Structure 1
Amino acid sequence: MITGDLKNKIDALWNIFWTGGLTNPLDVIEQITYLMFIRDLDEMDNIKSKESVMLSVPYSSIFAGEIKIKREIKNDEEPIPATQLKWSVFRDFPAAKMYDIMQLGVFPFIKTLHADKNSAYSKYMDDAIFKVPTPQKLSQVIDALDDIFAMVKSDAKDDTRGDLYEYLLSKISTAGTNGQFRTPRHIIRMIVEMMAPKPGEVICDPACGTGGFLVSSVDYLKEKYLKEIFYDKLQLAHFNKEMFTGFDMDRTMLRIGAMNMMTHGVENPRIGYRDSLSDQNPDLNKYSLIMTNPPFKGSLDYDIVSADLLRVAKTKKTELLFLALFLRMLKIGGRCASIVPDGVLFGSSTAHKAVRQEIIENNRLEAVISMPSGVFKPYAGVSTAILIFTKTNHGGTDKVWFYDMEADGFSLDDKRSQTKENDIPDIVARFHDLAKEETRERTEKSFFVPKAEIAANAYDLSINKYKKVIYEKVEYQSTSEILSELKVLEEEISYGISELKRIL
C-alpha cells in the first residue's frame, strides 16, 4: 500500500498536472504511465546492454544511431543522436530543450517501437498524445518522478511499483457501469502463487484492466523458471507471443496494460478490446489458466449477452455470467481462480444455484477463500471470496477446501496501514499442502467440507454455513452478590463524605 512520504510525493505529482490544467484523472494517469514507460525503456536498455556483455551475446540498443525529428515550422527533418531520447540524458537538458525532445522525438519514437504494426502495443499506442502543457510543468514532473522512483527503489522488498499503479488508479473516483475496480497487488500475487503457473501455460484474464494478473504471472515465471523459458527458443517464443492474453473494454486500460507487459519483457502479449460476455468472444476450450477479478455488481441486457452463457444460467448479473464464461474458455483440465462477491456464494436465486451446481457437479471446485470486506478499501467495501476450480466437464468435486482469511497484512479500515497480522503466507502454504488439511477441525481457519453436505445445503459456499464457533461459557455474579457489593461501596462513600465534612 502507498502511505507516508511516497503517497505525499505522488499527490504532489498529481497536483502539478492539476495546476497545469490537466484535470481529467484518466488523462493524468495516461501521461504518468507514458513517462514511467519512457523511463523504464532507458533502464531496460541499460540492463540488456550489461547482460549482453556478461553473457557474450549480441545486443543492439534501441537508442543506437540517429533519429530524425520533424519540425513543422521549417517543414524539414533534423537528425539527432538517438541517445538524446534516453531519460537519463534528456532529464538534464534545459526545460525548453527537454520539452522539444519529448514532444518531437520521444513520443513519436515510442509509437514505433514495435515492428509488428498489428501488435497490441502498436495498436493502442497509435493514438497516444503528449499532453503536458508547458516546458516548466514537464521539468517539474520529471523531477517529481525521479524522486518517486528513488523511493520505490529503496523499498524493493515490496511490490511498490504495482502499488503505485493502484494508487494512481484509485484517483478515478467512479467505477464503470459494470462495477470495475482495481485489485490490490498483494492479493493478485497471492492468487498467482496459489495457482503457480508453469512455462507451458496459456494464461488469460478476460477483464484484464492494466494487466495486473498477467504482469504478476510474468514476474512469477521469471523467478521460478528463468532458465527453462529464456534458454529454450520454443518456450521463449511461447512466452513472448502466445502465453498471455487479456481483454478489456477500456482503451486507456488496454494501453497501460500493453506498456506494462512490454516493460516486463513480454514482446507481443495478446491484449485486445473485447466485450468478453458478448458474442464478440468466440474463445472455447482455449486456456489452461484464468486468473481474474471480473466486474461485478453490474447488470446487462439479455440481448447483448452470449446465448451459450445464458444456457448455463439465465441472468443479467455479470458476476454469474463471468463464471459461466470461464468454464467455456478453459481447456479440459484448465484451472481458474476468480474473485467473486460474497453473494455468489450464498445467493438463493435460480441462477446463483445453477452456476454453483455447474461448477460443483460437472467440474471440480477445489477451494473457497473468504476475504474480509476491508481488502478493497478505501475504494470499495464489498465482501469478496476467491473461487478456485478446474474444468473437467464430468465432475470430480469430492470435497471443498475453505479458508477464513481474517487479515491480509494491512488494517481493514480506509487507512490500510501495514500490520503484522497476515494470513496470506499461511493460505499459500496450506493450499500447496492440502493433505495436511484433512484432519483440521471446523473451528480452525481452514478445513474441508464434503460435496454431499454442500449439495444438501443448496450448494451454499459461504464459510459461515460450515464453520463451527466455540462459545466460551462466562459466569457472572448473582444479583444478591452485586447488591451486597454496592451496599458496601455506598457505606464507604457515606463514611468518606462524613469525614470530609468533619475536616472542613
Structure 2
Amino acid sequence: MRLEVLDMDRQTLKSKFKQACDLLRNEIASVNYIIQLSWMLFLKLYDDLEDERELKAKLKGETYQRNIPSPYRWKDWVHKDWRSEELIDFINNELFPFLSKLDGGGEKELIATIFSGKEIQNFLKDGYKLREVALLLDELKFRTREDIYVISALYEELLPEIGEMGKYAGEYYTPRPVIRLMVKIVNPKLGEIILDPFLGSAGFLIESYNHILR
C-alpha cells in the first residue's frame, strides 16, 4: 500500500497536526516548536509501540517488560488531571530526568541519548496548553506501518514551513521531488540494504519503500 492511497487518513492526521502546531506557535518561539512537537510525538509513538508489544506477549502467555514504565508512560501523564504547575514540574523535574538516565542498552540507551541532549527540552510553560497539545497528538493512532509513513510524510511537510519562520529548522529539508528523482536513479530493489545516514524525517526511506512496491 502506497502513501498516496491513504489520502483520507492523511487529511485527518494533517488536521490534528495543524491544530497541535497552531497551539504551539502561539506559545513557543518558531525555532523551538518543532523540537517540542518532536519529543511529544516520539513519546506518543513509542507508547503505542510498547502497547503493541505488550499485547503480542500477552497473547503468547508471556510478559513484556516496558522500557518506559508507569508513571512515565505517555498514557499515564497525558490522561492525568493535573494543575498547570504540577504537569510542568512533572515534565521538567521527573519525566525528563528519568528518561535521560535510562540504562540497560538497546532502546533504553537510545531514549536516554535523546532526552539527555541539551536541545531537547520542554519549552511550554503553561501546563494546560501542554496537555491540550498532548491530547490532540493522543488522538493519532499508529496501528500499521503505513500509519507511521503517513506521520513521517506530514512531519516532513512541516519542515519547510518551520524553515521559513526559523533560521535553522528547515536547513536540511530535501524537497520530495528531489527525493523521488534520486530514488528513481538509484532504483532500489527488494532484498537490497538501503542506508540513509542523515535520516531526518526518513523521506528517502519512505520513497524507497514506495518505489519498491511499485
Which TM-score bucket, shorter chain as reference? Answer: 0.5 to 0.7
Amino acid at match of 2:100: K
Deviations 1:403-449 (A, max 9, x none): xxxxxxxxxxxxxxxxxxxxx87x975xxxxxxxxxxxxxxxxxxxx
Contact kept in structure 2, 1:116 and 1:122, CA below 8 Å = no
- Please, which of 80, 88, 92 is the counterpart of residue 93 of structure 1? 80
Query: Pairwise CA RMSD of aligned residues?
Result: 4.1
Whether the aligned pair in 2 keeps the contact of 1:42 and 1:87 (CA below 8 Å) is yes
Figure out how many residues of one structure are paired with residues of the other and give that number: 196
| 1:113-132 Cα deviation digits (max 9, x unpaired) | 45459x66544532221211
Residue 9 of structure 1 corresponds to which residue in structure 2? 16
The answer to whether structure 1 residue 24 and structure 2 residue 30 are counterparts is: yes
Map of 2:38 onto structure 1: 33
Question: Could you say what secondary structure the match of 1:205 adopts?
Answer: coil
Counterpart of 1:159, as a letter, is Y
Aligned pairs (5 A) from 1:212-361: 212-213=203-204
Equivalent position to 1:167, from 138, 157, 164: 157
- How many Å separate the matches in 2 of 1:85 and 1:121? 13
| Greater RCO (Cα-Cα under 8 Å, separation 6 or more) | 2
Work out whether residues 156 and 203 of structure 2, in 8 Å CA contact, stay in contact via their aligned partners in 1.
no
Gapped runs of 5+ residues in structure 2? none
| 1:198 partner amino acid | G
- The AA in structure 1 aligned to 2:149 is D
User: Do the aligned residues in 1 keep the contact of 2:149 with 2:206 (CA within 8 Å)?
Assistant: no
Of Structure 1 and Structure 2, which has the larger fraction of its residues in strand? 1
Which structure 1 segments of 5+ residues have no match?
64-81, 221-423, 430-504
Partner in structure 2 of residue 106 of structure 1: 95
Matched, 1:195 2:188: yes
Q: Could you tell me which residue of structure 2 aligns to residue 184 of structure 1?
A: 176
Tell me if structure 2 keeps the 8 A contact 1:52–1:58.
yes
Distance in 2 between the 1:12 and 1:31 partners? 14
Q: Return the letter of the residue paired with 1:208.
A: L
Match for 2:66: what amino acid?
S
Percentage of identical aligned residues: 18
Could you tell me how far apart the structure 2 residues matched to 1:211 and 1:157 are? 14
Note the C-alpha offset of 1:56. Answer: 4.7
For residues 157 and 105 of structure 2, the distance between their equivalents in structure 1, rounded to whole angstroms, comes to: 32
Q: Give the conservation status (yes or no) of the 8 Å contact 1:95–1:138.
A: no
* SS in structure 2 of the partner of residue 84 of structure 1: coil
Q: TM-score, normalization: structure 2?
A: 0.68
Structure 2 counterparts to residues 39-54 of structure 1, below 5 A: 39-54=44-59
Letter in 2 for 1:132: L
Deviation at 1:13, TM superposition (A): 1.5
Matches within 5 A, 1:118-133: 122-126=112-116, 127=118, 128-133=120-125
Which of the numbers 124, 130, 133 marks the counterpart of 1:138?
A: 130
SS in structure 1 of the partner of residue 161 of structure 2: coil
CA-CA distance at 1:61 after TM superposition: 2.0
- Is contact 1:91–1:142 with CA below 8 Å preserved after alignment? yes
After superposition, give the CA deviation of every residue in 1:368-419 in whole Å (9 maximum; x if it has no partner): xxxxxxxxxxxxxxxxxxxxxxxxxxxxxxxxxxxxxxxxxxxxxxxxxxxx
